[in-house]
Amino acid sequence: MGCECSKTPYSIISDEEKFIEEAEKYLEIHKHKASTLIQKFLSKIKTETASKEQIQKILYFLKLNKKPHSKLYISLKGFGDAIMTESEINLAKTKCTIILLAKDSCEIKAKLLFEAIESGTEINSNKLNTLLDIISTSAIQLVQSAINFSPKGLSAGRAEIYSKKLKQSQPYFTDKLQTLILDGLSKIPKNQFIARISNSNTLKNILSTYGIRSLLFKYYPEALLLVPISQKPDIFYYNYPKVSPNQPRTTLVCKNSHVLKWTNDCPFYYMNTVGSWEIKCKKCNTLFSSSCWHCRECLWDICEKCGLDLNQKAPKLSCTKDHELVWGISNNATFTCKICKNEDKDFEWNCEECNYSVCKDCGEKFGYKATLWPNLCANGHSLTIQSDIQAKYQEKYGKGPICEKCEAEIHEDCYHCNECDFDICKKCSGYINKPLGPHPCFVCTEGHYLRSFHSDTESVCNSCSSQCGFKFYFCQDCGFCLCLTCCSNLYKNITKQCQKICPKGHKLTYNPQVTQRYKENKFLCAITKKPNKNIGSFNCYDCSYDISLISINS
C-alpha cells in the first residue's frame, strides 16, 4: 500500500526550451483532444509573458492531465489568466497532489478521497477508515509535495495557531505535521492541510481541506489580521479591506469601506483637481493613466490588474478581445455599431487594433460617456441660455451682446453669465459642447483642451503636417489641430507606456506646451536633432533630455 511520494511530483527542468519541447510533444500526442487553452499557454511561454514559476506549473499540469476532458482539466480552465478563485486553484492543487498518491493498489482509495474533496461533503467513518493507511503513512510526503506549488508561505504566527488546532486530531498525524510547522518550514499552503473539527467523530479531524477561509472566520477570526512575525508589516497588504464584510465577495471597497466604481474619467478628474493625470494604484503602487476602480470621496484607486487579482472583472466597454474601447480614435468615414448595428459617421467608442466600434448612444447605455467641458465664463461661472438678453443690451448699450469667442454681434439666443456679462453665441457654444479627447493629454500648446471635431473641410496636423481628413481634434481658440494618427500614438504612449525613461533612467514627462528651449532653438530633439516649435515633447528636466511627439510616434 506504499506510495512513492518522497519523489518530487515533477522534476523541474531549468531549460525553458525543453519546457516548450515537452509540452508540444504532449500536444502532438493528444492533438485531437487539446483545447485552445493549452495553445494559449504555449503562446504565453514562447512570448516570454509567463514567469518561470507559471511555466513550471503549467507543464506539471500538462504532464498530469492525461485526459483533457476530465474534471481536473475543467477545474484548471482559467489558471493561466488568473481568473480562477483562490479556492478553485487550491482545489486543483489538492487534486493533483492526491493523484500522485494514486499508485498501484492505492489508486481506488485515492480516488475516493478525490471525489470527496471535489464534492465538498463530509466523508463518513467507513470511507475515512479505508483511507487512513494512505494519509497516516504519507502525511509528511504529502505536505512536502504541496510545498512546491504554494503561491505564498505560511507565517510563523498563523502556523502556531494552526498547530494548536491540529493537536485535536489523531496524535500520529499531528506529530508529523507539527514537526514541519514548528521547525520553521513556512511554505505550507495556506489553503491546505488544516484539520476539520468534528465534535461527533474524531476520525474526521484527520481529513485535510482545501478551503480554510470559512473555518478561520468561524473558529479564529483574529488570525486574518495577524502580521507575520518574520516579515516586515505591509499596511496596504494586511489591512486593505479587499472585501467588505457586508458586500458580496467580489465587491471592491476603499479604506473607509466605500464601494469602488469602475470609472473612465479619472485622468480628467485628477488633472482638473491636482494638476496631474497620473493615478497611483493603492494596492501595487503602480502609476497609470486610464480607467480604474475609483472612490471619489476618498480618492482611492485600484488598477484593472489588481481588480482581477481580487476576483473583480472590470465592467469595461470592450471589443471581443477585451481591449477597452477609446473615445473617437478612428480614421473611418463611417462605421457600423457592433451593438445596435446602425451606421453612423460621428465619433465613436473604438478599438483601433480590432476595428471594433460602438456608437455614442450604446456606449452611454454601458455607463461610458464622452467627457464634456461645461460652458463657463472666464471666471468659472456657469452659462445659461437666455432669450431676452437682446433687449437688455439694446437698452443698456444701444447694441446687442458681443460673443467673447468670435467677437461678432449676437442677434439670437445666447449663453450668458449674469455676474460677468459674459456671452457666447450658439455657434461657438456648439464647439464648446463637443466632447473632449479620450485623455487630458490632448491639449494645444497653450494648454486648452482639444475637442472631438467633425468638419466638412480638411485641416493640417500641427504635429506631422499631414492632412487630417474630416475628423480630428481641434482647439477653436488657437486653431490648433491634431490628426487621429498622432492622437492615437500619443494616447498609447501616455496610457500604456507611462514609464518612458531617458538614457540615465529618469522618467520622461509629457509636456504639451512648447518649451522655451525649443522656442529659442537652444535644444534639439534627441532623436531627430531638430528643434520643434509646433507641438509639445517628452522631457527629462534633470538631464535636459527632450524627445518630440512626432519622434516618439515614429
Residue 527 has pLDDT above 70, yes or no: yes
Computed over every residue of the chain, the mean pLDDT equals: 61
Give CA–CA dist 440/269, Å, rounded: 9
For 87-91, the CB contacts below 8 A with 24+ separation are 87/191, 87/210, 87/211, 87/213, 89/151, 90/189, 90/191, 90/192, 90/210, 90/211, 91/117, 91/118, 91/210, 91/211
Which region, left, alpha or beta, applies to residue 385 given φ > 0 means left and ψ of -120 to 50 means alpha? beta
Q: Which residues contact 413 (CB under 8 A, 6 or more apart)?
A: 385, 386, 387, 389, 426
User: 463 or 532: which carries more pLDDT confidence?
Assistant: 463
Lowest mean pLDDT among 112-121, 171-180, 497-506, 533-542: 171-180
Residue 334: the pLDDT is 76
Give CA–CA dist 379/382, Å, rounded: 9
Give CA–CA dist 195/188, Å, rounded: 14
SS (H, E, C) 324-359: ECEECCCCCCCEECCCCCCEECCCCEEECCCCEEEC
Residue 465 has pLDDT above 60, yes or no: yes
**Model confidence, pTM:** 0.47
Lowest mean pLDDT among 111-120, 195-204, 431-440: 195-204
CB 277 within 8 A of CB 51: no
Q: What is the pLDDT of residues 213-225, one digit of tens each?
A: 344 344 434 433 3
Strand, helix or coil for residue 387? coil
User: Residue 107: which H helix or E strand, with range?
Assistant: helix 107-119
Residue 379: the pLDDT is 62
CB 404 within 8 A of CB 424: yes
CB 287 within 8 A of CB 279: yes
Residue 320: the pLDDT is 80
Q: What is the pLDDT of residues 273-287, one digit of tens each?
A: 777 788 888 888 888
Confidence of residue 187 (pLDDT cuts 50, 70, 90): very low
Residue 517 has pLDDT above 60, yes or no: no
Residue 224: the pLDDT is 35
Residue 466: the pLDDT is 80
Give CA–CA dist 531/527, Å, rounded: 11
Residue 28 has pLDDT above 60, yes or no: no
Confidence of residue 255 (pLDDT cuts 50, 70, 90): confident
Residue 25: the pLDDT is 61
User: 103 or 481: which carries more pLDDT confidence?
Assistant: 481
| Greatest extent of the chain over all pairs of C-alpha atoms, in Å | 108
CB 71 within 8 A of CB 167: no
Strand, helix or coil for residue 294? strand
Confidence of residue 127 (pLDDT cuts 50, 70, 90): very low
User: 533 or 4: which carries more pLDDT confidence?
Assistant: 533
Cell of residue 265, nine digits: 474619467
Strand, helix or coil for residue 503? coil
Q: Please identify which residue in the block is written with the cell numbers 497653450.
A: 446
User: 208 or 414: which carries more pLDDT confidence?
Assistant: 414
User: 116 or 210: which carries more pLDDT confidence?
Assistant: 116
Residue 514: the pLDDT is 59
Segment 266-275 mean pLDDT:
80
- Which percentage of the chain shows pLDDT scores above 90? 0
Q: Which residues contact 262 (CB under 8 A, 6 or more apart)?
A: 291, 292, 293, 294, 314, 315, 316, 367
Q: What is the pLDDT of residues 295-343, one digit of tens each?
A: 888 888 998 888 888 778 888 888 888 888 887 766 666 788 888 888 8
Q: What is the pLDDT of residues 365-380, one digit of tens each?
A: 777 777 666 566 666 6
Cell of residue 136, nine digits: 497516516
Return phi, psi of residue 452, to 5°: -65, 125
Segment 148-172 mean pLDDT:
42
Beta bridge partners of 262: 293
Residue 259 has pLDDT above 80, yes or no: yes
Strand, helix or coil for residue 402? strand
Q: What is the pLDDT of residues 381-415, one digit of tens each?
A: 667 777 777 777 777 777 778 787 777 777 777 87
Question: What's the full length of the chain, in residues?
Answer: 554
With the C-alpha atoms ordered 405, 406, 407, 413, is the resulting torsion angle positive or negative?
negative
Residue 164: the pLDDT is 47
Which region, left, alpha or beta, applies to residue 58 given φ > 0 means left and ψ of -120 to 50 means alpha? alpha
Residue 346 has pLDDT above 80, yes or no: no
Cα atoms in the 13 Å half-sphere on the side-chain side of 303: 17
Query: Of 80-89, 106-115, 481-490, which one has max mean pLDDT?
Result: 481-490
- Which percentage of the chain shows pLDDT scores above 70? 44
Q: What is the pLDDT of residues 137-158, one digit of tens each?
A: 444 343 333 333 333 444 444 4
